[in-house]
Amino acid sequence: MRFPAASFLKIPAARRTRLALVTGIAVTVALGGTLAAVAATGATASTEAHGQAAQSSPYIYVHDPTMAKQGGTYYLFSTGDPAGVIGNGNIQIRTSPNLRSWTYDGTVFATKPAWITSTLGSIPNLWAPDISYFDGLWHLYYAGSSFGSNNSVIGLATTPTLDPGSPRYHWTDDGLVFSSTSADNFNAIDPSLVTAADGGKWLVLGSFWSGIKLIALDAATGKPAASPTVYSLAAKASPDAEEGAGITYHDGYHYLFVSVGFCCRGISSTYHIQVGRSTTITGPYLDAAGTPMLNAGGMDVQGTDGGMIGPGGEFVFVDGGTSYLVYHYYDAFDAGDAWVQVRPIIWADGWPVTGQPLVPMPGRGGPPAS
């Protein structure tokens, strides 16, 4: 589920001391930076020493990132801080000129929409946003729920521009998109919009509760029909620990990326990212060995790498002819706090392979900015 365990919520008020080293932890390197030909992080010996020294920096929480570009600025949206220290649990916004350094730039809402709290009661934060542009507006889908429950909602907010300096900048609360209750066999969280090869709009969703689902949207409203068909795309054995899915189209195939395992346990998280592909958006999605993702299939595409533990909550960002895998991880050099990583995707024989990380790695490039 996209929500920290109780122990992970015990965070100091505004700042914490970054750790020089986390001891007693065996870190397995898997699939990280599979092609060294892609530009490396550029860390020097002096920055490595700086990153490993004990230092104080602002508390940061980036989970389930999604990314867009407008003009020369990259915009990163992420799950609200569950501790309420940053933005009172609302969807966070960060900006970057270069994909490497990120600066906090407020939240989408000042307060959680009243329709969510009236439906779900008081919840600490909003979850797992997804940003896309169509029909003249930026569409931000996001979720509201609570840990261990499928009494969940997916909401929508829109704005004509992402630039907060523009007089046109304003987020409109467009209300409910889709929901689930305890009577359903799916969980309506972790929304991700996808545009099919024919231009149709669809929404991927799901977490545990029988896996990853897909519904069709009306492009004019950004919402589904009253009772949409719910397609099943991926499932694993009970408890079906997969979520945070998204689909991207490349060279004749739709690729389904899924976060598999358990998140939100800091350095004990087991998240890793798998992928399958299909010629049709509704599936079936098969991995490289031909196993259907509905039959527990999935090819590993990104795992733990050095101090970056439990990668997941992924989003595929396409900028011109280059695709990037954007995801969060738990920082082994910072008590397991969640932070963002961006890697270029190289397509090899029809399958995605991740390149070197662009955001400075823990212990090697110094702490993130904010």
Residues 6+ apart with CB under 8 A from 62: 76, 78, 92, 94, 102, 328, 338, 339, 340
3-state class (DSSP) for residue 46: helix
Buried b (16+ CB within 10 A) or exposed e, 327-358: bbbbbbbbbbbbbbbbbbbbeeeebbbbbbbb
* 178: its two tokens: 């889709």
**Model pLDDT, residue 102:** 96
C-alpha separations of 320 from 69, 70, 244, 317, 324 in Å: 11, 13, 24, 10, 11
**Model pLDDT, residue 369:** 58
The dihedral over CA atoms of 364, 367, 368, 370, expressed in degrees to the nearest 10, equals: 180
Q: Which is catalytic among the residues 130, 243, 287, 337?
A: 243
Closest C-alpha to 204, from 173, 228, 238: 228
pTM: 0.85
- The verdict on whether 334 is a catalytic residue reads no
Q: What is the DSSP letter of 50?
A: H
Rounded distance, CA 248 to CA 232, Å? 17
- The verdict on whether 243 is a catalytic residue reads yes
Contact 325, 273 (CB under 8 A): yes
Beta bridge partners, 104, equal 94
pLDDT tens, residue order, the chain (370 aa): 443 333 333 333 333 333 322 333 333 333 333 333 233 333 333 333 333 333 445 688 999 999 999 999 999 999 999 999 999 999 999 999 999 999 999 999 999 999 999 999 999 999 999 999 999 999 999 999 998 899 999 999 999 999 999 999 999 999 999 999 999 999 999 999 999 988 999 999 999 999 999 999 999 999 998 899 999 999 999 999 999 999 999 999 999 999 999 999 999 999 999 999 999 999 999 999 999 999 999 999 999 998 999 999 999 999 989 999 999 999 999 989 999 999 999 999 999 999 999 999 987 765 555 6
Q: Which is catalytic among the residues 64, 174, 240, 305?
A: 64
| Range list of H helices, the chain | 45-52, 114-120
* 286: its two tokens: 């098969």
**Beta 55-58 vs 15-18: how paired, if at all?**
antiparallel
**Model pLDDT, residue 366:** 55
Closest C-alpha to 202, from 191, 211, 212, 210: 191
Third-level CATH fold of 6-354: Tachylectin-2; Chain A (2.115.10)
Cis amide bond preceding 167, omega within 30:
no
**Model pLDDT, residue 103:** 96
Q: What is the DSSP letter of 52?
A: H
* 172: its two tokens: 């409109």
